Homo-oligomer: A and B are copies of this chain.
Amino acid sequence: MVSDADYQAAVEALGRARSVALTTHVKPDADALGSAAALRRWLQGAGKTVDVIVPTPAPGKYAFLESGGPVKVAGRDVDLSAAEPPDLVVIVDTATWQQLDGMQPLVAESGAPVLVIDHHRTVDPLADMVLVDTDAAATVVIVHRLLVEAGVPIDRATAGYLFAGLVGDTDWFRLPNVSPETFRLAASLVEAGANPTEIHAHLHLGDSVAKLHLWGRALETLHPALGDRATVMHLTRAMFRETGADVGDTENLINQCMRVRGTRVGLMLVETEGDEVRVSLRCTPGLNVLEVAEQFGGGGHIRAAGARLTGPLDQVEARVLAAVDEALADAEKSEKP
């Protein structure tokens, strides 16, 4: 539970700083970049110097979240070990070293105090002050409340940034983290000028023909397994070569497996370099694919995990399916008392 006092303390820390560096996790997403953009807009408006620095580049579809200024990439656009330390470092949407990758010089070595604003469960001891609410559907929910506590009016641009983060982390109001509060926030953001149709176009209507050809090829490989409880999809090196698509184009593709009636587990197998196969796993509630991924040295979340194996696609599929079969058997045992 996060108290009003926690919010006030964060507002005061931000108010004191004259220069702020905002950062977030590797592969920044809409919630990470939307949170940073909203904070930057507030702080720049208050006359502060603000830098947004990310550990790895953001996909081009998020460019609309950069209207307050460039998002710099650590090591490429800025040398963190040589940079002048800011008065305050703010980390949004993560609190773990692993997710911060090359941000170490800024976060741990610059001597600047660190404020974390996040909604994830894992919190490494890397901050001087944390504003972590694991009940929040997205980090933008916390940023929104911070702005309200600070008495900052939510203008049209800020509303758009926050709305983008909210739809990004709720899969457009479809995930179990959606609550009445989520919809109330959406209402107030649309009232303040956020445009759902425009934001949808930015996030979802900018694909290449090559990507859609790759999705077509992948859908054709879709096949049921384990008595229709699992659905499997293959992506071969030839498909990437022949369509001209790249590995980034497989983002969210695994969700297509979950569309099949009765599917409890989705598996996407992607050939990468050498004889390596990247396996992504998804499952419906009540199952745990993280345990499956961990058996192969992988990781992730309970319902969305992955691992890297070696061998031909079919053999990798058989090995992972055997593990999935066991996970299904375990779950079904506890489902039938």
**CB closest chain-B residue, reference A221:** B216
Chain B hits for A161, CB < 8 A: none
Contacts of A190 in B (CB 8 A): 178-180, 183
Task: Classify chain A: how many residues form its interface, as a range.
Answer: 35 or more
- Check: A186 CB closer than 8 A to any chain B CB: yes
Asked whether A207 lies within 8 Å of B261 as measured between CB atoms, the reply is: yes
| B260 in contact with A209 (CB, 8 Å) | yes
The binding surface of chain A is classed by DSSP as: helix
Q: Does A97 contact B (CB under 8 A)?
A: no
Check A220 for interface membership: any CB of B closer than 8 A.
Answer: yes
Contact code string A255-270 (vs B, CB < 8 Å = 1, else 0): 0101111010000000
Of B172, B176, B197, B223, which is within 8 A of A175 by CB? B197
Decide if A102 is an interface residue (CB 8 Å cutoff). Answer: no
- Least CB separation from A174: chain B residue: B200
Please, what's the 1-or-0 string for A76-106, where 1 marks a CB less than 8 Å from any CB in chain B?
0000000000000000000000000000000
B173 A212 Cβ-Cβ under 8 A = no
> With the chains together, A205 CA to B259 CA distance in Å?
4
Please state if A206 and B172 are interface contacts (CB–CB under 8 Å).
no
Residues of chain A whose beta carbon lies under 8 Å from any beta carbon of chain B: 172-176, 178-184, 186-188, 190-191, 196-197, 200, 204-209, 212-213, 215-220, 222-224, 231, 256, 258-261, 263
